[in-house]
């Protein structure tokens, strides 16, 4: 075990996000979620320390004790009966409140690092249970492979082969969308979702055109009504040359476009920044282009 573990964690987009009106005993909505990793990464470093220290760069507005990273470390230590005597440094590049799962990615990376440090598998039931208690998206970041998640969007049903495709991510500069507010908005007006089968079939075949045709998110109207700029971004993205298809990811405020080429993704991200002042990235989706150091 190296004294310092360094993990580059990807973020995610939802190729299919289907929210049901029914909820579980925690009050969480039943969710069908087909998630894939995106190579816009945070760096999470874990090393020995006299006591738990959590540091984010750039700094967060919330206290370290309130972060997903702190909660993940203390909850796993409790579950295993060990002391969380580590320092955790997060260098964040994944934007907050984007629907890209940034805070969940950090927590997932911490759980993977600590599971390895404390001698258990990241797929151990105790790790998975802590992940689900930290947040609905965290279970995906224990594995980071394209997958279908059911339950509250936090129970792995099946994984798919990795693939590699160009993607552009674009989000407004205004404040992002709060996940809870998006779900509350869904309760007021949302409808039962379409089937996740087309997204699964496309992933099974590694067929990016079919993935583009299958993009679906019935939480997007909630994000668009909470933040008008989300609608402006998603409409603009859909109209750009070189876009196979686009969709809002998760509860927004970021949208993504599967693109014909890296060049198209780069041109779209540059235009979004230069012509509109939006935040934008050209990167890769699917997991095959990502390499992990841990």
Ligand X SMILES: Nc1ncnc2c1ncn2[C@@H]1O[C@H](COP(=O)(O)OP(=O)(O)OP(=O)(O)O)[C@@H](O)[C@H]1O
Ligand Y SMILES: C[C@](O)(CO)[C@H](O)COP(=O)(O)OP(=O)(O)OC[C@H]1O[C@@H](n2ccc(N)nc2=O)[C@H](O)[C@@H]1O
Which residues are known to be catalytic? Answer: 12, 137
CB 140 within 8 A of CB 102: no
Helix (H) or strand (E) holding 204: helix 197-205
CB 30 within 8 A of CB 17: no
Token pair of 9 as six digits:
């964690």
As a whole number of angstroms, the distance between CA 79 and CA 116 comes to 15
Closer CB to ligand Y, 86 or 254, in the complex:
254
As a whole number of angstroms, the distance between CA 188 and CA 139 comes to 28
Q: How far apart are the first and last CA of the chain?
A: 10
Which of ligand Y, ligand X, none does residue 183 bind to, with CB < 5 to 8 Å depending on kind?
ligand Y
Burial class (CB in 10 A: 0-12, 13-18, 19+), 181: middle
As a whole number of angstroms, the distance between CA 60 and CA 63 comes to 7
Binding site for ligand Y (CB under 6 A): 14, 17, 28-29, 31, 33, 99, 101, 104, 135-137, 152-153, 179-180, 183, 250-251
As a whole number of angstroms, the distance between CA 61 and CA 18 comes to 31
Which listed range, 26-34, 44-52, 65-73, 115-123, lies at the site for ligand X (CB under 6 A)?
65-73
Closer CB to ligand X, 91 or 288, in the complex:
91
Name the residue among 264, 269, 270 with its Cα closest to residue 241. Answer: 264
Residue selected from 49, 62, 197, 238 as contacting ligand X according to rule CB under 6 A: 62
Fill in the per-residue mask, 69 to 88: x = in contact with ligand X (CB under 6 A), - = not in contact: x-------------------
Q: Is residue 61 near ligand X by the rule CB under 6 A?
A: yes
Which of ligand Y, ligand X, none does residue 153 bind to, with CB < 5 to 8 Å depending on kind?
ligand Y
Closer CB to ligand Y, 66 or 263, in the complex:
66
Task: Identify residues 211-250 at the interface with ligand X (CB under 6 A).
Answer: 250
User: Phi-psi bin for 111: left (phi > 0), alpha (psi -120 to 50), beta?
Assistant: alpha
Which of ligand Y, ligand X, none does residue 17 bind to, with CB < 5 to 8 Å depending on kind?
ligand Y
The CB-of-1 to ligand Y minimum distance in angstroms stands at: 29
Task: Identify residues 93-152 at the interface with ligand X (CB under 6 A).
Answer: 96-104, 106
Which of ligand Y, ligand X, none does residue 136 bind to, with CB < 5 to 8 Å depending on kind?
ligand Y
Closer CB to ligand Y, 253 or 268, in the complex:
253
Q: Is residue 172 near ligand X by the rule CB under 6 A?
A: no
Tally: H helices and E strands in the chain: 10, 11
Residue that is written with structure tokens 């909820």 in the block: 23
Interface ranges with ligand X (CB under 6 A): 60-62, 67-69, 96-104, 106, 178-179, 250-251
């Amino acid at each position: 075990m190296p004294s310092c573990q360094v993990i580059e964690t990807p973020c995610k987009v939802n190729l299919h996000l289907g929210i049901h009106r029914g909820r579980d005993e925690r009050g969480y909505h039943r969710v069908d979620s087909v998630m894939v990793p995106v190579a816009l990464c945070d760096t999470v470093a874990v090393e020995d320390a006299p006591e738990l220290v959590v540091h984010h760069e750039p700094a967060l507005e919330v206290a370290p004790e309130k972060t997903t990273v702190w909660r993940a470390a203390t909850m796993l230590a409790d579950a295993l009966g060990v002391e969380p005597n580590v320092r955790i440094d997060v260098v964040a590049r994944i934007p907050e409140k984007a629907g890209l799962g940034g805070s969940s990615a950090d927590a997932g990376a911490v759980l993977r690092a600590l599971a390895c440090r404390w001698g258990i598998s990241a797929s151990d039931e105790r790790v998975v249970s802590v992940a689900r208690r930290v947040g609905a998206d965290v279970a995906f970041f224990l594995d980071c492979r394209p997958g279908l998640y059911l339950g509250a969007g936090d129970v792995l049903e099946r994984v798919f082969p990795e693939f590699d495709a160009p993607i552009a991510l674009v989000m407004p500069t205004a404040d992002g969308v709060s996940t809870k507010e998006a779900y509350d908005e869904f309760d007021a007006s949302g409808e039962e979702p379409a089937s996740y089968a087309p997204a699964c079939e496309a992933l099974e075949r590694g067929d990016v055109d079919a993935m583009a045709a299958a993009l679906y998110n019935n939480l997007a109207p909630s994000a668009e009504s909470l933040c008008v700029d989300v609608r402006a971004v998603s409409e603009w993205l859909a109209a750009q040359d070189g876009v196979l298809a686009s969709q809002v990811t998760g509860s927004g405020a970021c949208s993504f476009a599967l693109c014909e080429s890296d060049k198209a993704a780069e041109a779209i991200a540059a235009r979004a920044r230069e012509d509109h002042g939006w935040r934008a990235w050209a990167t890769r989706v699917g997991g095959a282009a990502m390499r992990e150091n841990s």
